[in-house]
Amino acid sequence: MKTIAAAACAAILLVSVAYAQQPDPLAPTGRWTAYTGGRAATPPMGWNSWNTFASTVDEEKVMGSAKRIVDSGLAAKGYRYINLDDGWAAQRRVSDGHLMLRADKFPSTVSRKQKTPSFKPYTDKLHAMGLKAGIYSDMGRNTCAQAWSATDEDLPKGSVAEREVGLHDFIEQDIALYFREWGFDYLKVDGCGLRDFGPHSPKVKAGQARELAPIMDLGAISRTDVAAVQDLFRRVGAAIQSNRPNGDFIYSLCIWGAANVRAWAKDVGSVSRTSDDISPAWGRLLVNYDSAVHRALYAHPGSWNDPDMLYIGAGDFDADHLTEARSHFALWAMLNAPLLIGADLRKTPDALMEILGNADIIALDQDAAGNQAVVAYDSSDLQILVKTLGSGDKAVAIFNRGSAAMDVSLQATQMKFRDDAPVELTDLWTKKQMSFTKDTKVRVAARETLIFRARGTRILADGLYLSEQPGKVNPAIDGVTRPIADPTIFRTAFGWGGTHGAGDRPQYAGWGGARADSAPYGQTLQVARKPYPAGIGILANSRLEVRNDGYRRFAANVGVDDSATDKANAVTFTVYGDGKRLAESRPLKWGMPAEPLEADISGVKLVELVARSTATENEAVSVTWGEAALTGR
Ligand code: GLA
């Protein structure tokens, strides 16, 4: 009996020791944890072969566009990466796993000295032109063209094993080949190999590809092994880093918003696709744009949201659709998207080259502060986006998504400028200047995006709201415990499935993530009926990291947001400076007025904002860091 009791005591003790040792998942780390590994202090710019050439890409086509990039002056404006997409691989040599390229398509890769063709002379050529070189692979054993291409003509040839040109079992070897041996600077890693080669795949059934149990499903996050996908992408990232220790690389994740990547890519790579492929159709642009537009807090210098390549030059964005082409460009710049031209530049008309070369708009995309635009006015047909630039100026875009012209009232306060002082606007297409106080009326044509640089008198005179500087705010833990699809992203009939099947369903997880100037599910930030036009909305049990470059004071009004559905659990808000606790609120419940929270952050490099709740359902507890700001330099 005694022994049983003693054993029970020991067990209880062990359990409680283990419990006591459980690390606090919200403990401050004292360091910025979002990815800063590659050369993406600003979003990459350049060209990619896929939109125009798909798997028919060859050296002449690539070099033709590269030459025009240089000759037209686009290179001098920042377009540097010349990226080969899918279609370059011939097969994997089974004897040693070496990847063979399509030498017939890339003649510079063949030399008398070397038996095995090498891309080194090709990348040397691009480097000699002052450009950088990019290449493509897939995280599985096979690429997307191998899964989806209608013909076999341009696909890898040979046995099943020879056709396995993806990274899956060759991460170290292939990454060393791309970066060390061949001299590439940019790698896009696609994901069809992780998704499309299950037992029902036509290629697998036909004996053309080996089965790989799918670990990712764009249509269902619950059928996705997020941790396994993440692990593979981290391994590739580590391999790139060790093959390019000087950090001169771009690591591009291409899993189209699947596997909850819109939440974690910011910790893993330089750019990450937030949606399925763009096509030259207006509806498709809306999908891709929507997949990134509410995700400003998930983009920072080093790691950017990627709504896919530019389709300027084709379909709804060709030279007969300059309004749409300009919108595409302006919106991508406001989103801090990679600016990767997808057109055959050998043939691109001057009117489109002018759009791609608009230096004032490029400057918004490339602004060093790295703040993706925040939605200042949101509706299904009209949006106003505002981006805070390093200079303190604002960029503002007024986007008419619909098919009829609209009269819009632009307000100074939407830019967080005072409405009793003049606001100067410069139209970045026409260069016309205008000035207004309080508000001004503008007419925006169907599908048009007006885009301005704006200067005014700030409402917050001596600092910045956190929602004005999303590039410095990282939702390290955003509280989302059960990723579900975002219902607000436009669903178009121009998706990959066309109008087959039952339609385009919501599919991009991330709903309920951290938002600038909005509650997590899109409502107005509001605590006990008091609205907060500025602030961060996030779920409970979350931790935000905020970079501080010299401000002395943090202040916010904190509380449980009126949009929360849990009225029982209290939330405690804590401010840390470089890992040390600086200030804490009382436990606050739904309906209680917001409480002011202030901290002296002099000399602090990293502020962390933690909202702890007794709730286990974080999704039911939206919290507001109202008017959260860094002030006083
Ligand atoms: C996927 C990607 C595209 C392109 C193709 C290549 O569809 O999303 O951007 O790389 O594969 O096959």
Give the model's confidence band at 1: pLDDT under 50 very low, under 70 low, under 90 confident, else very high: very low
3-state SS of 436-472 is EECEEEEEECCCCEEEEEEECCECCCCEEEHHHCHHH
Amino acid at 145: A
Task: Establish whether residue 145 lines the binding site of ligand 1, counting it when its CB lies within 6 angstroms of any ligand atom.
Answer: yes
Classify residue 360 as exposed, middle or buried by CB count within 10 Å of its CB (0-12, 13-18, 19+): middle
Question: Which of 222, 306, 294 lies closest to 259 in space, CA to CA?
Answer: 222
Task: Establish whether residue 86 lines the binding site of ligand 1, counting it when its CB lies within 6 angstroms of any ligand atom.
Answer: yes
**Mutation to probe ligand 1, out of 144, 197, 288, 496 (largest number of atoms < 8 A from CB):** 144
pLDDT value at 195 more than 90:
yes
Q: Please tell me what DSSP assigns to residue 179.
A: I
**Mutation to probe ligand 1, out of 195, 273, 277 (largest number of atoms < 8 A from CB):** 277
Give distance in angstroms: CA of 278 to centre of ligand 1.
10
Distance, in Å, from the CA atom of 577 to the CA atom of 24, rounded to the nearest integer, reads 17
State residue 22's pLDDT score.
78
Give distance in angstroms: CA of 52 to centre of ligand 1.
12
pLDDT value at 350 more than 80:
yes
pLDDT value at 9 more than 70:
no
Task: Establish whether residue 344 lines the binding site of ligand 1, counting it when its CB lies within 6 angstroms of any ligand atom.
Answer: no
Q: What is the pLDDT of residues 66-84, one digit of tens each?
A: 999 999 999 999 999 999 9
State residue 493's pLDDT score.
87
Task: Establish whether residue 147 lines the binding site of ligand 1, counting it when its CB lies within 6 angstroms of any ligand atom.
Answer: no
Q: Is 86 one of the annotated active-site residues of the chain?
A: no
Nearest-5° angle of CA 550, CA 553, CA 557? 140
Ligand 1 atom nearest residue 277's Cα: 8
**What does the pLDDT average to over 551-556?**
98
Q: What is the pLDDT of residues 242-278, one digit of tens each?
A: 999 999 999 999 999 999 999 999 999 999 999 999 9
Task: Establish whether residue 59 lines the binding site of ligand 1, counting it when its CB lies within 6 angstroms of any ligand atom.
Answer: no
Q: Which sign does the torsion angle of CA 34, 40, 42, 44 carry?
A: negative
pLDDT value at 19 more than 80:
no
Question: Which of 23, 21, 34, 20 lies closest to 608 in space, CA to CA?
Answer: 34
Classify residue 128 as exposed, middle or buried by CB count within 10 Å of its CB (0-12, 13-18, 19+): exposed
Give the model's confidence band at 160: pLDDT under 50 very low, under 70 low, under 90 confident, else very high: very high
Q: What is the pLDDT of residues 280-297, one digit of tens each?
A: 999 999 999 999 999 999
Task: Establish whether residue 184 lines the binding site of ligand 1, counting it when its CB lies within 6 angstroms of any ligand atom.
Answer: no
pLDDT value at 522 more than 60:
yes
Within 13 Å of residue 221, how many CA atoms lie on the same side as its CB?
23
Ligand 1 atom nearest residue 85's Cα: 10
Percent of the chain with pLDDT over 90: 93
What is the average pLDDT score of the chain? Answer: 96
pLDDT value at 335 more than 50:
yes
Which residues, including other chains, have CB under 8 Å from residue 440's CB and lie 6 or more apart? 409, 410, 423, 425, 434
Q: What is the pLDDT of residues 469-492, one digit of tens each?
A: 999 999 999 999 999 999 999 999
Which residue has 């509380």 as its token pair? Answer: 559
Q: Is 277 one of the annotated active-site residues of the chain?
A: yes
Q: What is the pLDDT of residues 293-315, one digit of tens each?
A: 999 999 999 999 999 999 999 99
**What does the pLDDT average to over 425-449?**
98
Task: Establish whether residue 144 lines the binding site of ligand 1, counting it when its CB lies within 6 angstroms of any ligand atom.
Answer: yes
| Residue whose CA is at the smallest distance from ligand 1 atom 5 | 144
Cα Rg, the chain, nearest whole Å: 25
Ligand 1 atom nearest residue 276's Cα: 8
**Mutation to probe ligand 1, out of 85, 189, 275 (largest number of atoms < 8 A from CB):** 85
Q: Please tell me what DSSP assigns to residue 181.
A: I
**Mutation to probe ligand 1, out of 86, 137, 287 (largest number of atoms < 8 A from CB):** 86
Amino acid at 287: V
Q: Please tell me what DSSP assigns to residue 485.
A: B
pLDDT value at 15 more than 50:
no
State residue 25's pLDDT score.
93
Q: Please tell me what DSSP assigns to residue 180.
A: I
Question: Which of 320, 308, 309, 316 lies closest to 349 in space, CA to CA?
Answer: 320
Cα dist. 269→45, 186, 364, 508, 608 in Å? 16, 11, 22, 19, 22
Task: Establish whether residue 196 lines the binding site of ligand 1, counting it when its CB lies within 6 angstroms of any ligand atom.
Answer: no
State residue 495's pLDDT score.
72
Give distance in angstroms: CA of 343 to centre of ligand 1.
15
Instruction: Tell me which of 276, 277, 308, 486 is the catalytic residue.
Output: 277
Q: What is the pLDDT of residues 213-228, one digit of tens each?
A: 999 999 999 999 999 9
Give distance in angstroms: CA of 276 to centre of ligand 1.
9
Give distance in angstroms: CA of 51 to centre of ligand 1.
9
State residue 502's pLDDT score.
84
Amino acid at 96: D
pLDDT value at 554 more than 90:
yes
Distance, in Å, from the CA atom of 436 to the CA atom of 583, rounded to the nearest integer, reads 41
Task: Establish whether residue 254 lines the binding site of ligand 1, counting it when its CB lies within 6 angstroms of any ligand atom.
Answer: yes
